[in-house]
Amino acid sequence: MTNPLIIVENIVKKYHRGAEELTVLNSLNFTVYEGEFVALMGPSGSGKTTLLNLIAGIDRPNSGYIFVGKDEISALSEDKLAEWRSRHIGFIFQTYNLIPVLTAFENVELPLLLTPLGKSERRKHVEIALSIVGLADRMSHYPRQLSGGQEQRVAIARAIVTDPTLLMADEPTGDLDAKSAEEVLILLERLNSEFKKTIIIVTHDPKAAARASRLVRLEKGILKEDIPTESLDSARFAEAASVFVEARPK
């Protein structure tokens, strides 16, 4: 492994629900190295999304430190953090979150509007991103004219168009049929192997987890296990993974 890219140190994250206090993450430590493809698993409510959001800089810990590259993001101001996200984070959601009134092209172009790039340069970047996800011929389609798998691939193009340091995916295949899910996973794998993107994916699907280079299990706010997949043969891995998988919430 190479240099650490993400260092999470003694993170505490609590939520308040009325008078009740809920500690979701309790003194959590976590390190991700450059070029890793990490699958984050764990039962529903264990804090996977919370952890992902903290690393992506869209939420803040109650205490502890988060470093990404040279930046201590837990110390950045609101505005600095927004700017940091635009340069370093590509986020992929379970529900795609495309803007329905914008075409595939315009959706992918959105993050570039925050850069100083001119119109023709933006076009070039968008075209490249859409061709990587195999949708160069769907640029002028609106989200409602695309299938779920295609929508998710547009969302992936939007996440990679700024060439971010990190790709974060929160159950990216959760809403997809098996075939579309497979396509999305292959795409993520390619982004990791070919484009050297560091990826963290939250998933309930062992098949998805099997594509990762490392598996992390979160339970009741504590990072319990951390098994490098290379060290397992595939039969044992499938067994290990199935242990992590909880029944998806009905």
Partner 1 sequence: MKLLPLILKNVFRKKARAILTIGSIILPLLVICLMGTFLRLLDRPDPAETRGMFRIVTRHKVGLASPLPMSYAEKIRQLDGAFAVTKFNWFGGKYIDNSARNFFARFAVEPETLVQVFDDATITQGSATDWFNDRAGSLVGEDLMKKFGWRIGDQIVLIGDIYPVTIQLTIRAVYQLPDGDSDALFFNREYLEEALPSFQGKVGTIWTKCRDGAAATRLSDEIDQMFENSPYPTKTETEKAFQMGFVSMLGNVKLLITSLGTIVVFVILLIAANTMALSARERIREIALLRTLGFSRVTILMLTLGESLMLALFGGILGLGLFVVGFRPLKASLINTPLSGFATAMTLFPEVLLLGLVITIFVGLFSGLVPAIQASMRPITEGLRHIG
222: CB partners within 8 A, 6+ apart: 26, 28
Using CB under 5 A, which of the segments 17-25, 46-54, 101-109, 142-150 binds Mg ion? Answer: 46-54
Please report how the helices 148-160 and 178-193 are oriented relative to each other, as an axis angle in degrees rounded to 10.
20
Report which of 93, 155, 163 is spatially closest to residue 130, judged by C-alpha positions.
Answer: 155
Total number of residues binding partner 1 (CB under 8 A)?
A: 25
Report which of 162, 155, 167 is spatially closest to residue 56, judged by C-alpha positions.
Answer: 167
From 6, 38, 47, 74, residue interacting with ligand ATP (rule: CB under 6 A): 47
DSSP-derived secondary structure for 78-131? HHHHHHHHHHHEEEE-TT----TTS-HHHHHHGGGGGSS--HHHHHHHHHHHHH
Residue 48 interacts with ligand ATP (CB under 6 A): yes or no:
yes
Residue 53 interacts with Mg ion (CB under 5 A): yes or no:
no
Residue 110 interacts with partner 1 (CB under 8 A): yes or no:
yes
**Residue 237 and residue 249: Cα distance in Å, rounded?**
24
Residue 188 interacts with ligand ATP (CB under 6 A): yes or no:
no
The mark string for 190-229 relative to ligand ATP (x by CB under 6 A, - otherwise) is: ----------------------------------------
Using CB under 8 A, which of the segments 36-44, 88-96, 185-193, 226-234 binds partner 1? Answer: 88-96
The mark string for 137-166 relative to partner 1 (x by CB under 8 A, - otherwise) is: ---------------------x--------
Using CB under 6 A, which residues numbered 3 to 22 contact ligand ATP?
15, 17, 22
Task: Please write down the HEC assignment for all residues of 143-185.
Answer: HHHCCHHHHHHHHHHHHHCCCCCEEEEECCCCCCCHHHHHHHH
Residue 249 interacts with ligand ATP (CB under 6 A): yes or no:
yes
Residue 45 interacts with ligand ATP (CB under 6 A): yes or no:
yes
**Residue 243 and residue 52: Cα distance in Å, rounded?**
22
The contact set with partner 1 (CB under 8 A) reads 53, 56, 58-59, 78-79, 82-87, 89, 91, 93, 97, 99, 101-102, 106, 110-111, 113-114, 158
